[in-house]
Amino acid sequence: MSINHKMTAPIARDANKVPAVVNEAADGKKAVPTELVIKRADDTTFEQISQNNPLPTVQTGSYVRLSTEPKPTKSDGVKDGNDLLLVDTGQVFVFYKDVWREI
């Protein structure tokens, strides 16, 4: 497989004419724009992840939430050994003896 390393557009320049990869929102928060891709099973190319081409996932007893959302409970089917990732804080928890324990 060969990968096309050519840029399709030049790197944008900021107000001071400095090339930058970082993008800034009106509120001042900065981010590096990225594109998530997966490699095709036949190794011929990459496919962009989008709403019409979602990332394949497998349910493993893991939960992913924002820290502002309630943690899942036993009534949601949580069992000892399940894990929880809070994507906005990066915290990881394991459910053990009826309690989410941070690791």
Q: pLDDT means per 10 residues in the chain (103 residues)?
A: 60 65 71 68 75 63 88 90 88 89 90
CATH of domain 62-102: 3.40.1620
Q: DSSP 3-state helix, strand, coil percentages of the chain (rounded to 5)? A: 5, 30, 70
pTM of the predicted model as reported, rounded to 2 decimal places? 0.43
87 DSSP β-pair partners: none
pLDDT of residue 68: 93
